[in-house]
């Protein structure tokens, strides 16, 4: 493959990965904050959303499977 094409692909992939990683982190932080507030009714959907975001990040290859598993167990 030509080097220019590989460089273009790398830029696209890194931008996509950064976006997915950022949104995943945001959902995790939201879940942790809602758990810290003590409101369990608000925390449960946030934790489920964080679980889902981590699973999607694994499917897209952004986060390694074991890393996602570790984050989930800590939630």
Q: Residues 9-34, buried b or exposed e (16+ Cβ, 10 A)?
A: eeeeeeeeeeebeeebeebbebbbeb
Q: Which CATH class is domain 3-74?
A: mainly alpha
Domain ranges of the chain: 3-74
Q: Which two tokens stand for residue 8?
A: 């273009």
Q: Which two tokens stand for residue 63?
A: 């986060």
φ and ψ of 54, to 5 deg:
-65, -40
The pTM (predicted TM-score) of the whole model is 0.84
Indicate whether 50 pLDDT > 90: yes
Indicate whether 42 pLDDT > 90: no
pLDDT of the residue at 14: 95
**Residues above pLDDT 70, as percent of the chain:** 100
């Amino acid at each position: 493959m030509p080097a220019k094409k590989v460089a273009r692909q790398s830029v696209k992939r890194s931008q996509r990965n950064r976006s997915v990683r950022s949104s995943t982190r945001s959902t995790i932080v939201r879940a942790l904050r809602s758990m810290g507030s003590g409101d369990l009714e608000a925390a449960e959907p946030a934790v489920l959303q964080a679980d889902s975001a981590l699973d999607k990040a694994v499917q897209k290859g952004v986060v390694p499977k074991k890393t996602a598993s570790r984050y989930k167990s800590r939630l």
